[in-house]
Amino acid sequence: MNVCFLMYPWEEIDPEKDTSLALIHECIKRGHGVTICTPSNLTIRNSVTNAFCTVINRMDKVPSSLKSFYKKATLREEMLPLAGFDVIFMRANPPLDPIMLNFLDSVKDDVFIMNSVNGLREANNKLYTAAFVDPDNKIIPVTHVSKNKRYLIRQIKESKANKMILKPLNGFGGSGVILIEKSAMSSITSLLDFYITNPDGSSNYVILQEYIEGADQGDVRILILNGEPIGAMKRVPGADDHRSNITAGGTVQKHTLTRKEKELCKLIGRKLVKDGLYFVGIDVIGGKLIEVNVMSPGGITYINKVQKIKLQEKVIDFMESRVQERTNAFDRIAKLRKEVENA
């Protein structure tokens, strides 16, 4: 099987923490061919969608540790047709490049893409949680998305809570997430100006969200595979930062899913699968869904460490099963067509 990881450059990988590297390593261990490609390296040649790929050369003996594997891996550059792969595994960091999806549209019927092109279009930003009907805010905190400053200020003033969370619509890794308080209303207008208005006069959407009590104690990252939770960790903020993201200084603790978190996963899992979102990371606070991460959900290496498991094995098992299903379906149709042809 040949797999193309559509992701960030090889040299940007952190070999001790990177989820993509854990997935790549598992593929190499199983003897699969692996290449990586960045979205900017997609191209069309003679009406065929290709990619300038970094091919990871096969190894006689694959090191067991990610750090050693990363150090010893040798690479070569090749232009390869995307339709020739069995799997395209999306691991590019947000924000989503719509042009990248246009390239993938041309091969989505030929290759198993994880996650699906249409699913990525629908769920690539923080608006996706609005797709889960929750009029009583039982699983999703009260959320406002707008670029209208007067509207946002009114929502802050009318909120029963003294604190709210403000963040950019297309941020990731905790970037731009801030805690605001009514007692600092004099600063909020300037903050909204900064977040919404660009130097060129264009504007950005921001998210204003209910602050959930207990958020200062951290959040829970849950990895969901084919609609089912496969692992979780608690992320605890650092001493000088309210954000739990590890990239923002948070630390990781072992976590067992609560009944409420299991119910949440069951509730949203069916829709994720329906939308072709097979490998997803969700962020949860107090049993409420904060974000859905569909482009490059991370956490495998951290969860593996605290839970003493290897989640990448489950992910690649699923990927292999999907490719086998597609192969079986193709072989069946080819056989039936041959019968008709020979009749």
pLDDT score, position 245:
56
Q: What is the pLDDT of residues 263-308, one digit of tens each?
A: 999 999 999 999 999 999 999 999 999 889 999 999 999 999 999 9
Q: Which residues pair with 42 in a beta bridge?
A: 51
Tell me which of 154 and 173 has the higher pLDDT: 154
pTM for the model stands at 0.89
pLDDT score, position 239:
60
Distance between CA atoms of residues 91 and 35, nearest Å: 12
pLDDT score, position 129:
84
Give the sheet arrangement for strand 228-236, strand by strand. Answer: 251-254, 228-236, 219-225, 279-285, 288-293
Cis peptide before 95 (omega within 30 of 0): yes
Averaged pLDDT for residues 149-155? 93
pLDDT score, position 47:
94
Q: What is the pLDDT of residues 185-236, one digit of tens each?
A: 878 888 899 899 888 888 999 999 989 988 888 999 999 999 999 999 999 9
pLDDT score, position 200:
87
Distance between CA atoms of residues 227 and 208, nearest Å: 28
List, in order of start, the domains of the chain with CATH numbers.
Answer: 2-118+317-321 (3.40.50.20), 142-210 (3.30.1490.20), 217-293 (3.30.470.20)
CA atoms within 13 A on the CB side of 95: 11
